[in-house]
């Protein structure tokens, strides 16, 4: 994970800005310091886990014992066009419409 | 144009990332249709639209196709696979992440054997091949205030084939892509259509002084919709980087887009602004375990590969490299030729027939060889008739072959007999025709006797015409010469 380095670099203002950007969230600048503090508290708390030696433990990737839950390659008409579009905030008869994206 | 003496001081280092859309019926993690060209937003499901509470499920066929590609490239197939989320926001990615593979790509290593124009062969190493899903399509139109989103393509299965940075020239990149396209088509896992985007390529390019230990800063170039354009983009980008370095500027890591109309590249974004994808294991999918038994099942289903057939055609059938390359261009032609060669021993004639009359017939009617009406056995029979001196090549190609292409169940021999085309080696018959021809052209005979020896060809033509092509040409020319002298 690139946000939280091994040595547990403290969250600073740049990190906060980056996280806000990555999650596409806005935050109130006045609350910035408070948010930085509570994030650091979370990190400190999670840091407790590093006290346990896990070198010999394989990473736990899934909680389930199941493997190879595969699907046959068969097409099912699951969602009609009109139904698929019906909850869109903005749409036309063919497309979902979103605010203009600039590349 | 860059001066060759400057250009030659530098070595280019190129790595290619190729995305191939898999030819499955349904999508990678959901059962809506994987089909190109439908009305917008008709191939959709609640999973594709990322509705809350929906769960993905892996398409068995997509796994098989990825494994096939790995076997074809000699990759190591990963036994314990899991999927990973690659997080980024874009409107054509409804979930806000792409389900991909990160730590456990299904294929590791392997290589692509390429043949260059000068006949040189090289092998380009692969880093990995992994499975993932395509994004939807964003349509940006100048006159629209909105961006339009079509999610038909969202969730279409992809494999991403990542090469080692071992490609050195744009020609090698061209050959590499040509080979990959040939492979996916042989395997029938992707239609390889770069214009429609079912095969896509991004190029990572850097340059360094010859013999340098460290690679230069790499630039990623996108948006090439043909193999030729990949070659052009690489060529242009190598020169651009060299010119910048020669000017004393440094190359920045960035993504550039290729403009096919002018043939140059423009900066899209700097790498520093690039997304931090925050990969983590996909909790909604169970691990995928590839067993020895499964691997053997897939291996048993592998079609012959272009390189294997190329080797067989050059070594066993003694074809030239060029002929073998042309005949292995598509699997269907290669297999037709191979079948033909199991029915005739005249491999060279078989190759000439396919590269000549068969190809031109198919080209003229824009047919593929699967639609070719002449069965390999019929063509083998025709070759045998020529080899046994029963018909001449011209009678075979102009009289019998056209009959065969009409789609008959008759053999070449039956057609030859029906049309009374069997060559006659009978001396009396040919002598009679010769006599008739000479008797009918007394003036020409005199001219010949007066020294115009070139007329022999004219007499020969008359003999063949009069015998309806049935006279054995060798015997006819002997008897003709004897009668005239």
Q: Which pLDDT belongs to residue B481? A: 83
User: Which site among B148, B150, B156, B254 would you substitute to test the A interface, given the most A Cβ atoms closer than 10 Å to its Cβ?
Assistant: B148
* DSSP percent split of chain B into helix, strand, coil, nearest 5: 40, 20, 40
Residue B303: pLDDT band with limits 50, 70, 90: very high
Is the pLDDT score of A5 beyond 50? Answer: no
User: What is the distance between the alpha carbons of residues B48 and B136, in angstroms, rounded to a whole number?
Assistant: 9
Average pLDDT of the segment spanning A36-50: 91
What's the DSSP call for residue B382?
Answer: H
User: What is the phi/psi pair of residue A7, to 5°?
Assistant: -80, 10
pLDDT of residue B274: 59
Measured in angstroms, the CA of A63 and the nearest CA of chain B are apart by: 9
Assess contact for B184 and B305: CB atoms under 8 A: no
Structure tokens, B183: 């492979």
Residue B279 pLDDT exceeds 90: yes
How many residues in total does chain B contain?
485
A5–chain B Cβ distance below 8 A for any pair:
no
Q: Write out the two tokens for B314.
A: 């050059």
Q: Give the dihedral of Cα atoms B264, B265, B266, B270; nearest 10 deg.
A: -160
Spell out the domain ranges in chain B: 4-293, 427-484
The predicted structure's pLDDT at residue B470: 77
- A19 touching chain B per CB within 8 A: no
- pLDDT band (50, 70, 90) for residue B391: confident
The whole-angstrom separation of Cα A73 and Cα B24 is 7
ipTM computed for the complex = 0.84
Task: Reply yes or no on domain B427-484 having CATH 3.40.190.10.
Answer: no
How far is the C-alpha of B245 from the C-alpha of B71, rounded, in Å? 41
> What stretch of H or E contains B20?
strand B10-21
Taking only the tens place, the pLDDT of each residue in B163-210 is: 999 999 999 999 999 999 999 999 999 999 999 999 999 999 999 999
Give the end-to-end CA distance of chain A in Å, rounded to a whole number: 27
Residue A6 has pLDDT above 60, yes or no: no
pLDDT at A3 over 60: no
Angle at B346 between CA B340 and CA B347, to 5 degrees: 60
- Is the pLDDT assigned to residue A2 strictly greater than 70? no
Gap between the Cα atoms of B67 and B294, Å rounded: 10
Alpha-carbon distance B48 to B75, whole Å?
Answer: 31
A89 contact B CB<8A: no
Q: DSSP readout, B217-285?
A: --EEEEEE-SHHHHHHHHHHHHHHHHHHHHTTPPPPPEEEEEETTTTEEEEEEEGGGS-----EE-TTS
Q: Whole-angstrom Cα distance, residue B95 to residue B103?
A: 21
Tokens describing residue B123: 């092998």
Share of residues in chain B with pLDDT > 70 (%): 99
Residue of A nearest to B280 (CA): A1
How high is the pLDDT of residue B209?
95
Q: Over range B52-64, report the average pLDDT.
A: 97
Q: What number is the average pLDDT over the span B415-441?
A: 83
- Residue keyed to tokens 């009305």: B39
Q: Say if residue A8's pLDDT is above 60.
A: no
pLDDT reported for residue B272: 55
Distance of CA B395 to the CA centre of its chain: 34
Q: Is the per-residue pLDDT at B424 higher than 80? A: no
- Does A2 lie at the interface with B, CB-CB under 8 angstroms? yes
Residue B10's φ and ψ, nearest 5 degrees, are -110, 150
Mean pLDDT of all residues in B339-368: 95
Q: Which residues contact A39 (CB under 8 A, 6 or more apart)?
A: A11, A15, A16
Contact B459, B485 (CB under 8 A): no
Helix-helix angle A32-47:A13-22, to 10 degrees: 90
A64 touches B: beta carbon within 8 Å: yes
Q: Does A53 touch chain B (CB under 8 A)?
A: no
Q: What is the mean pLDDT of residues B260-272?
A: 81
* Segment among B54-68, B143-157, B242-256, B441-455 with least mean pLDDT: B441-455
Q: How many CB atoms lie within 10 A of CB A15?
A: 16
Q: For residues B266-289, give the mean pLDDT.
A: 84
Report whether pLDDT(A94) > 60: yes
Above 70 in pLDDT, residue B271? no
* Mean pLDDT value across residues B146-152: 96
What span, in angstroms and rounded, lies between the C-alpha atoms of B30 and A94? 21
- Looking at residue A7, its pLDDT comes to 52
pLDDT tops 80 at residue B6: yes
User: Between A and B, how many residue pairs show a Cβ–Cβ distance under 8 A?
Assistant: 130
Q: Which residues pair with B203 in a beta bridge?
A: B16, B221
- What's the CA gap between B428 and B433, in Å, rounded? 9
Tell me if B425 sits within 8 A of B472, measured CB to CB: yes
pTM of the model: 0.86
**Which range, B251-265, B427-441, B464-478, has the best average confidence (pLDDT)?**
B251-265
Tokens standing for residue B338: 């191979």
DSSP-assigned beta bridge partners for residue B147: A98, B140
pLDDT, mean over chain B: 93
pLDDT given at position A1: 41
CA distances from B426 to B421, B457, B464, B465, B470 (A): 14, 21, 14, 17, 10
Q: Do A3 and B276 touch (CB under 8 A)?
A: yes
Q: How far apart are alpha carbons B230 and B238 in whole angstroms?
A: 12
| A78 and chain B in contact, CB less than 8 A | yes
Give the whole-angstrom CA distance, residue A71 versus residue B228: 38
Residues of A in contact with B148 (CB under 8 A): 92, 94-97
- Chain B residues lying within 8 Å of A70, measured CB to CB: 57-60, 63, 288
Q: Reply yes or no on whether the pLDDT at A83 is more than 60.
A: yes
> What is the pLDDT, as a whole number, of residue B477?
83
pLDDT exceeding 90 applies to what percent of chain B?
A: 74
Q: What percent of chain A has pLDDT over 70?
A: 89
């Amino acid at each position: 994970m690139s946000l939280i380095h091994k040595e547990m670099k403290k969250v600073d203002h740049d990190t906060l800005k980056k996280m806000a950007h990555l999650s596409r969230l806005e935050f109130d600048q006045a609350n910035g310091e408070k948010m930085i503090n509570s994030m650091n508290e979370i990190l400190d708390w999670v840091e407790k886990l590093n006290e346990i030696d896990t070198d010999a433990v394989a990473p736990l990737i899934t909680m389930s014992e199941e493997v190879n839950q595969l699907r046959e390659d068969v097409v099912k008409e699951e969602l009609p066009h009109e139904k698929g579009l019906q909850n869109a905030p903005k749409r036309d008869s063919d497309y979902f419409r979103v605010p203009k994206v600039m590349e | 144009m860059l001066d060759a003496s400057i250009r030659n001081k530098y070595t280019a280092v190129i790595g290619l990332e190729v995305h191939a859309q898999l030819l499955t019926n349904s999508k990678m993690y959901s059962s809506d249709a994987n089909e190109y060209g439908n009305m917008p937003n008709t191939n959709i499901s609640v999973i594709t639209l990322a509705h809350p509470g929906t769960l993905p499920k892996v398409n068995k066929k997509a796994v098989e196709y990825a494994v096939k590609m790995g076997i074809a490239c000699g990759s190591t197939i990963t036994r314990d696979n899991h999927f990973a989320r690659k997080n980024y926001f874009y409107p054509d990615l409804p979930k806000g992440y792409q389900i991909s593979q990160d730590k456990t790509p299904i294929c590791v290593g392997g290589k692509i054997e390429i043949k260059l124009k000068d006949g040189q062969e090289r092998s380009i190493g692969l880093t990995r091949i992994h499975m993932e899903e395509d994004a939807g399509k964003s349509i940006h139109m100048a006159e629209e205030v909105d961006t339009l989103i079509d999610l038909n393509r969202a969730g279409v299965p992809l494999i991403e084939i990542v090469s080692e940075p071992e490609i050195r020239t744009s020609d090698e990149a061209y050959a590499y892509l040509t080979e990959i396209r040939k492979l996916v088509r042989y395997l029938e896992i992707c239609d390889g259509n770069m214009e429609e985007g079912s095969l896509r390529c991004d190029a990572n390019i850097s340059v360094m002084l010859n013999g340098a230990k460290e690679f230069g800063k790499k630039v990623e170039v996108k948006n090439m919709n043909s193999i030729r354009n990949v070659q052009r983009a690489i060529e242009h980008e190598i020169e651009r980087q060299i010119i910048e370095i020669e000017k004393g500027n440094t190359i920045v890591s960035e993504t550039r887009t290729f403009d096919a109309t002018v043939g140059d590249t423009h900066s899209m974004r700097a790498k520093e602004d690039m997304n931090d994808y925050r990969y983590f294991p996909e909790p909604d999918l169970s691990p995928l375990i590839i067993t020895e038994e499964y691997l053997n099942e897939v291996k048993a289903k592998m079609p012959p590969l272009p390189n294997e057939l190329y080797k067989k055609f050059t070594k066993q059938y003694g074809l030239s490299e060029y002929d073998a390359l042309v005949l292995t261009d598509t699997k269907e032609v290669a297999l037709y030729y191979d079948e033909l060669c199991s029915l005739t021993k005249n491999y060279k004639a078989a190759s000439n027939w396919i590269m000549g009359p068969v190809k031109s017939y198919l080209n003229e009617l824009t047919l593929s060889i699967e639609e070719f009406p002449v069965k390999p056995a019929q063509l083998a029979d025709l070759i045998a008739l020529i080899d046994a001196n029963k018909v001449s090549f011209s009678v075979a190609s102009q009289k019998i072959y056209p009959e065969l292409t009409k789609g008959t169940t008759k053999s070449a021999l039956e057609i030859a007999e029906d049309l009374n085309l069997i060559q006659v080696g009978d001396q009396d018959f040919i002598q009679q025709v010769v006599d008739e021809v000479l008797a009918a052209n007394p003036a020409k005979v005199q001219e010949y006797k007066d020294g115009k020896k070139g007329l022999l060809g004219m007499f020969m033509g008359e003999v063949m015409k009069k015998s309806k092509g049935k006279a054995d040409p060798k015997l006819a020319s002997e008897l003709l010469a004897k009668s005239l002298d």
